[in-house]
């Protein structure tokens, strides 16, 4: 919290040891972990730092890496995947806008197929305009995955004048790409911020999958989101719950009031029982959801249900643990393992589809 970021040596360690390459195939320099293995890594990271697991989780969830592997052209894969695997490129994915949160299909951001100048030649490309916010890793990203609605009024790439939602990869050093003031979500200092662009011309081969995938963005997002949502947020929640259960249970044995450990008091026992139950149920849920992904399923309904319940359990677990810790949980400092997690619990509740909806 002094840096409001990970230390640079930790960033370098994550890159050197391919923490951002868990989903990338070995042929491109990645680790090609199973969904279950990825979940185990995220749970361990969460037990140490929610900041750490958030930063590692995003590139291994819905984003350029996942979309490229499923839909990218050979040229796109050969260029980006090795660079993503090595940490040379840091990706983010820009979907949320001020007008479109959980209702992602209503994004107002658009791209118009037109002719323009690129490297001194006139080519057919897309003029992009967007305004996105709440984009994790945007402040440090080198490549921006962008979702927008594609229009082709002159029929330059086909008969359909409104192809619809499309995904493209935009290097963040492209002239005109703006990264706004960094957000600071509830005192959890992971890199998050807005991005904007107006009338930025890029060639058609910036579309993920090339022109053939124009208008296929919604299908791409739904298929990949169901996979990511079955792994990242549930795993982070399960890892946090397990850590809270272990640490709070241990604390309740050594903290004494009225000449006995507080863990022997019925009110505290009730909270500890909740924590134990959540630890077992969250572990079972994540094992099931990641197992489904490893079998080749795209469990959209299951992943939504599990995301809802495990993030809610995580929030409830922090409340029960805070009740047990009392003053030790309230006073922030290096020995308070709960305070920042308690503050940041609504983040997981809100992202990738607000639970209340």
Half-sphere exposure of 138 (CA within 13 A, CB side): 25
Considering only CA atoms, which of 245, 257, 236, 68 is closest in space to residue 168? 68
* 135/190 Cα distance (integer angstroms): 11
* 311/338 Cα distance (integer angstroms): 16
* 62/224 Cα distance (integer angstroms): 6
> What is the per-residue DSSP string for 21-86?
GSSS-GGGT-----HHHHHHHHHHHHHH-HHHHHHHHTTTSTTHHHHHHHH--HHHHHHHHHHHHH
Considering only CA atoms, which of 186, 53, 187, 194 is closest in space to residue 130? 194
Half-sphere exposure of 136 (CA within 13 A, CB side): 22
Half-sphere exposure of 160 (CA within 13 A, CB side): 12
Ranges of H-type helices in 121-262? 217-254
For residue 205, what are its two tokens? Answer: 């081969």
* 345/50 Cα distance (integer angstroms): 10
Which 3 state secondary structure label does DSSP give 159? coil
For residue 218, what are its two tokens? Answer: 């919604």
**What residues contact 246, with CB distance under 8 A and at least 6 apart?**
none
Residues forming the active site:
352
Residue position matching structure tokens 């995003």: 58
């Amino acid at each position: 919290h002094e840096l409001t970021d990970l230390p640079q040596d930790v960033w370098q360690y994550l890159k050197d040891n391919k923490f951002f390459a868990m989903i990338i195939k070995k042929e491109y320099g990645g680790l090609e972990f199973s969904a279950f293995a990825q979940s185990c890594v995220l749970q361990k990271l969460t037990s140490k730092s929610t900041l750490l697991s958030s930063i590692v989780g995003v590139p291994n969830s819905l984003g350029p890496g996942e979309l490229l592997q499923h839909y990218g052209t050979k040229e796109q894969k050969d260029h980006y995947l090795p660079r993503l695997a090595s940490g040379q490129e840091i990706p983010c994915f820009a979907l949320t806008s001020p007008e479109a949160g959980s209702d992602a299909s209503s994004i107002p951001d658009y791209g118009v197929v037109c002719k323009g100048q690129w490297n001194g030649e006139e080519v057919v490309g897309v003029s992009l305009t967007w305004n996105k916010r709440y984009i994790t890793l945007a402040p440090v990203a080198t490549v921006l995955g962008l979702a927008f609605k594609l229009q082709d009024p002159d029929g330059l790439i086909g008969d359909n004048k409104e192809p619809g939602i499309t995904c493209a990869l935009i290097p963040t050093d492209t002239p005109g790409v703006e990264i706004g003031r960094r957000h600071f979500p509830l005192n959890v200092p992971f890199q998050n911020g807005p991005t904007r662009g107006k009338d930025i011309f890029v060639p058609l081969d910036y579309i993920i999958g090339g022109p053939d995938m124009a208008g296929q963005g919604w299908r791409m997002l739904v298929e990949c989101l169901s996979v990511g949502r079955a792994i990242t947020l549930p795993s982070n929640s399960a890892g946090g719950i397990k850590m809270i259960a272990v640490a709070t249970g241990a604390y309740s044995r050594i903290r004494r009031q009225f000449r006995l450990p507080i863990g022997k008091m019925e009110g505290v026992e009730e909270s500890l029982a909740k924590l134990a139950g959540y630890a077992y149920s969250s572990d079972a849920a994540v094992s099931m959801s990641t197992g489904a992904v490893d079998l080749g399923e795209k469990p959209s309904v299951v992943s939504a249900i599990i995301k809802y319940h495990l993030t809610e359990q995580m929030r409830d677990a922090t409340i029960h643990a805070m009740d047990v810790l009392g003053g030790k949980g309230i006073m922030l400092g290096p020995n308070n393992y709960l305070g920042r997690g308690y503050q940041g619990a609504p983040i997981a509740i809100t992202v990738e589809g607000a639970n209340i909806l």
